[in-house]
Amino acid sequence: MLNDTKGVYFSLKLDHKANYPDTQFSEIRLILRLKSNPFSWLQVEDDVGRYLPTAEQQKNCQVMGPKEACKVKTGEVIHKYDWSIDALKHDVHGFATKNGLGCWFVTPSMEWENGGAYNRDLACHQGENDSLQIMYMAGSHYGAGDEYPKRGENWSKVYGPYLIYLNKAGSPQASWRDAKAVAKVEKAKWPYSFVSQPGYVKQRGSVTGKLTIKNPLNNSAFRLEDAVVTLVQPESNRESIPNQQWRHYSFWTHSISGVSPNFSISNVIPGTYQLRAWSKGVVGEFILNKTITVTAGRTTNLGEIVFTEKRVGPIAWEIGIPDRTAKEFKHGDHFNQWGLPYKFPKEFPNGVNYYIGKYNYARDWNYCHISVPERSGKYQSIPWNIYFILRKKPTGTSVLRVSVAANSSTALSVSINGVKNSAEVANFKDDACVRRDGIRGFYRELEFKFGPNDFKIGENKITLHA
Question: Cis omega (within 30 of 0) on the bond before 191?
Answer: yes
Q: How confident is the model at residue 247 (pLDDT cuts 50, 70, 90)?
A: very high
Mean pLDDT of 337-351: 94
Q: How confident is the model at residue 381 (pLDDT cuts 50, 70, 90)?
A: confident
How far is it between the farthest Cα atoms of the chain? 76
Domain end residue (candidates: 129, 163, 189) = 189
Please tell me the predicted confidence (pLDDT) of residue 157: 98
**Same domain, yes or no, for 252 and 175?**
no
**Same domain, yes or no, for 148 and 263?**
no
**Same domain, yes or no, for 220 and 160?**
no
Please tell me the predicted confidence (pLDDT) of residue 374: 77
Mean pLDDT of 9-29: 97
Structural domains in the chain (count): 3
For residue 11, is pLDDT > 90?
yes
Percent of the chain exceeding pLDDT 70 equals 100
**Same domain, yes or no, for 414 and 337?**
yes
User: Which CATH number goes with the domain that contains 440?
Assistant: 2.60.120.260
In a domain, 400, yes or no: yes
For residue 375, is pLDDT > 90?
no
In a domain, 199, yes or no: no
Provide the terminal-to-terminal Cα distance of the chain, rounded to the nearest Å.
53
**Same domain, yes or no, for 288 and 221?**
yes
Please tell me the predicted confidence (pLDDT) of residue 188: 97
**Same domain, yes or no, for 292 and 238?**
yes
In a domain, 364, yes or no: yes
pLDDT tens-digit map of 387-445: 999 999 999 999 999 999 999 867 899 999 998 789 899 989 899 999 999 999 999 99
**Same domain, yes or no, for 300 and 441?**
no
Mean pLDDT of 222-246: 96
Pairing between β-strand 384-390 and β-strand 458-465 as defined by DSSP bridges: antiparallel
Mean pLDDT of 182-190: 98
In a domain, 269, yes or no: yes
**Same domain, yes or no, for 127 and 235?**
no
**Same domain, yes or no, for 137 and 13?**
yes
- The side-by-side arrangement of strands in the sheet containing 130-138 is 28-35, 130-138, 124-127
**Same domain, yes or no, for 227 and 176?**
no
User: Which CATH number goes with the domain that contains 25?
Assistant: 2.70.98.10
Adjacent-strand bridge partners of 208: 264, 301
**Same domain, yes or no, for 383 and 457?**
yes
On whether the CB atoms of residues 175 and 49 are closer than 8 A, the answer is no
Question: Which residue type is seen at 272?
Answer: T
For residue 28, is pLDDT > 90?
yes
**Same domain, yes or no, for 300 and 337?**
no
Q: Structural domain of residue 450, as residue ranges?
A: 332-465
Mean pLDDT of 143-157: 96
Please tell me the predicted confidence (pLDDT) of residue 293: 98
